[in-house]
Structure 1
């Protein structure tokens, strides 16, 4: 009798542990799906960016530039034009509730930039064409701009 009860007890424990293992495996599969969907989302969000554009990176490397360093330099050049008490000269709108400043810059490829700007109340976006000359100087030209109406 004791052996039968002991076996039943062990079988119950084994069944309980097997259920826990299945539960944890399902949890891990769900995490893998979440991880895969996050990776897909990241790839989608970075599709239009210099860091994921191999042709643009090769373009800069052929000119002797490190694309990552150049991207940081160009972003810094644009944002560093934000000055206390003055509008950023790249923004073609004067601040109405403060001074226009560029907040965010994204290099899309080796020729195009998008940027976001605001004066604290009004905000808008810029489409900028840029060119890195052979002497290393970067020229910027605002191709399009948009100021959202105050809501």
Structure 2
């Protein structure tokens, strides 16, 4: 009788092991196919993002001093070095920020002072600038000229301030 019990236990254990092996193999295969599908989706998403980044990069770099051959030719004609010019122009605009505000901003504020946050050099003549006092926001279109000695002359062309909600 003991022999039969051990034999039945052995067969039951063997069947149980075969069942577990088949079940785990099925689960492993399903997980592998899920992983493959997710990797494929990730690759498609990365390609899509790369395409969007390329488009955005083209749009952001279209207006700018860097790579603008016409602007380079303009500055070359007057003997102005374009090396680091964009950074010097941005510094010139932001350096006008003082504790009393920025002299390029034509708006008055009784509570706070307006200061320039961001600067974008569009070409060899124009600059866009964003300013705020922490509560109100506005934008400037500035014109600039660069002398042969590197001095930068800034002048306001247009400005706007957004209404407070």
Q: TM-score range by the shorter chain?
A: 0.7 to 0.9
Counterpart-to-counterpart distance in 2, 1:137 and 1:79: 15
Q: Give the greater-gyration-radius structure (CA).
A: 2
CA contact (8 A) 1:103 1:118 kept: yes
Alignment CA distance shift 1:89-1:32 (3 Å) = same
Alignment CA distance shift 1:42-1:142 (3 Å) = same
* Structure 2 residue 36 is the aligned partner of structure 1 residue 44: no
Gaps of 5+ in 2: 1-21
Residue 97 of structure 2 aligns to a residue whose secondary structure is coil
Counterpart-to-counterpart distance in 2, 1:97 and 1:32: 49
* Structure 2 residue 132 is the aligned partner of structure 1 residue 118: yes
How many residues align structurally? 139
TM, length-normalised to structure 2: 0.70
Gaps of 5+ in 1: 1-8
CA contact (8 A) 1:97 1:120 kept: no
- State the partner residue of 1:93: 107
- State the partner residue of 1:3: none
- State the partner residue of 1:83: 98
For residue 49 of structure 1, report the CA deviation from its aligned partner. 1.8
Counterpart mapping for 1:1-151 below 5 A: 24-25=39-40, 27-62=42-77, 63-67=79-83, 69-84=84-99, 86-151=100-165
Q: CA RMSD in A?
A: 2.6
Alignment CA distance shift 1:24-1:87 (3 Å) = closer
CA contact (8 A) 1:87 1:95 kept: no
For residue 94 of structure 1, report the CA deviation from its aligned partner. 1.7
For residue 90 of structure 1, report the CA deviation from its aligned partner. 0.8
